[in-house]
A = this chain, B = another copy of it.
């Protein structure tokens, strides 16, 4: 086990929310269409003046408040977003600014698309275990609304904006990562993507407006995930040395109703153990996992002594699972 203790979680959502009913009216769909297609009742959407890093900073300050800590108590900030605020510099620099971290606090990003939070938590545990840092903040913030393509019903309706943060310490060795596995299948690299924004497509070497929007082949994602996930989960459970009956709470990436249903089916755990915030938040990209974790914590469904399973899929295509003793 790699020791790590969640000191506190925090969350932030933008000031505006949009119901599927109102999306029906805006996009000219018949009543009930967006809800039926997406499974989302309402999602939060950033106003034009709201930035990704401001939202991330609000989540971090919420987590610090819940921990009874100050910004100066953070030794290292890891930004764990799916899409950056800008191509350069890394998003953590902007979050550090808005959260008022003392100048000089190190801040870098980890990116594993929708599983950035899981990768960052795995890294943070390692960096705490070797004594290099005492307390690490991980912040995931994403504004999917800035990149959805409304001409693609499947991908545009499921997303919502948001941010969440956790503060972690090494702890006393009782809490920690029992098992963690991530696996990347580059055959799925084009199943979910925003082609623009980097060195491949930009105004210098040729791009079109659609290159800056999110495109998804949901069926291809689902097919690949269904193929690789069962054996992957078996290996993860085997590494943990215990079965699914030992899992007290499941925090899945809130990808889609289909994805959540598939997770429930292959896990074979009671539905009440699975955290679901998809209906009220949509898929919040990398902010989904820590937002669902925060929900588990504040509703008392994830408490010290329990064993938690975090799992999901991400653009790449990457799949990941982590078993965490709280």
Contact = CB atoms under 8 A, between A and B. Distances in A.
Given A104-B184, A186-B93, A197 B200 contact: no
Interface stretch (A22-30, A205-213, A240-248): A205-213
A187 interface: yes
A68 interface: no
Given A110-B108, A147-B204, A192-B88, A52 B199 contact: yes
Interface stretch (A32-40, A124-132, A298-306): A124-132
A202 to B, nearest CB: 5
Contacts of A205: 48, 146
Contacts of A180: 132
Given A52-B198, A200-B85, A93 B143 contact: no
Nearest to A3: B130
Contact of A103 (B115, B187, B197): B187
Contacts of A106: 181-184, 318
A228 interface: yes
Interface string A130-155: 10100000000011001100000000
A2 interface: yes
A308 interface: no
Interface string A98-132: 00010111111111110110010011011101101
Contact of A126 (B127, B209, B213): B127
Chain B CB within 10 Å — which of A2, A104, A116 has the most? A104
Given A87-B198, A194-B87, A212-B202, A184 B96 contact: yes
Contacts of A186: 93-94, 96-97, 101, 103, 107
Interface residues of A, number: 80
Nearest to A179: B132
A29 to B, nearest CB: 20
Given A86-B198, A88-B315, A198-B86, A146 B204 contact: yes
23 contacts: A52-B200, A82-B88, A83-B87, A83-B88, A85-B200, A86-B193, A87-B147, A88-B197, A88-B315, A89-B113, A90-B113, A91-B198, A92-B184, A93-B315, A97-B189, A103-B187, A123-B123, A123-B127, A132-B180, A146-B199, A147-B204, A197-B198, A197-B202
Interface of A: 2, 48, 51-52, 77, 82-94, 96-97, 101, 103-113, 115-116, 119, 122-123, 125-127, 129-130, 132, 142-143, 146-147, 180-187, 189, 192-205, 209, 212-214, 228, 314-318
